[in-house]
């Protein structure tokens, strides 16, 4: 079983975008080995279109070049990068992408591949905080209503 086969087993049903590339960081690499359906939905590309291409296909005019260099430096030094980049969908629409890339290592410690977990950064739903000037607090942090024991609502 290959790394891609193993990732495919758990990533096919995930909502989060998952991408696996080979370990070649120098151009023209890395090459995409696998993209799950979540990645296809986010990027607008079919997974089959992405295999064999570089993730650079997602970059465009607004992509921060220093940010892409930071990704390479972090992967070479630590085997991990966490951050945000502006990417572009197949149709050309820009989106901000939160990326967590990790090395998948061989027994000798050398990277065999990289796996990226990605999600589009969107304004989170929530309630405005007092004096927050547009900042939001997640709904889950909002205190739940308190009901007297004899008035607890029942939902069928």
Closest CA to 117 of 38, 17, 2, 33: 17
Among residues of the chain, what percentage have pLDDT more than 90? 68
The pLDDT of residue 65: 87
Q: What is the mean pLDDT of residues 107-121?
A: 94
What are the pLDDT digits (tens) for 50-69?
999 999 999 999 888 888 89
118 pLDDT band, cuts 50/70/90, is very high
Please give the full DSSP string across the chain, using - where no structure is assigned. Answer: --HHHHHHHHHTT-SSEEEEEES--STT-PPEEEE-HHHHHHHSS-HHHHTTS-GGGG--TTS-HHHHHHHHHHHHHTSEEEEEEEEE-TTS-EEEEEEEEEEEE-TTS-EEEEEEEEEE--PPPEEEPTT-TT-EEEGGGSPPP---GGG-----
8 A C-beta contact, residue 111 and residue 105:
yes
What are the pLDDT digits (tens) for 13-51?
998 999 999 999 999 989 999 999 999 999 999 999 999
In CATH, the number for domain 3-139 is 3.30.450.20
């Amino acid at each position: 079983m290959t790394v891609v086969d193993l990732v495919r087993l758990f990533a096919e049903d995930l909502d989060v975008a998952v991408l696996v590339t080979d370990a070649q960081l120098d151009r023209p690499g890395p090459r995409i080995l696998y993209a799950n359906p979540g990645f296809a939905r986010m990027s607008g590309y079919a997974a089959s279109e992405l295999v064999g291409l570089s993730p650079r296909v997602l970059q465009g005019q607004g992509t921060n070049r220093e940010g892409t260099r930071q990704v390479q430096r972090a992967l070479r030094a630590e085997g991990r990068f966490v951050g945000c980049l502006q990417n572009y969908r197949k149709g050309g629409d820009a989106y901000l992408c939160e990326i967590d890339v990790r090395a998948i290592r061989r027994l000798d410690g050398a990277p065999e591949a990289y796996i990226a977990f990605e999600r589009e950064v969107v304004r989170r739903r929530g309630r405005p905080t007092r004096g927050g000037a547009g900042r939001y607090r997640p709904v889950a942090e909002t205190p739940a209503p308190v009901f007297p024991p004899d008035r607890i609502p029942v939902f069928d």
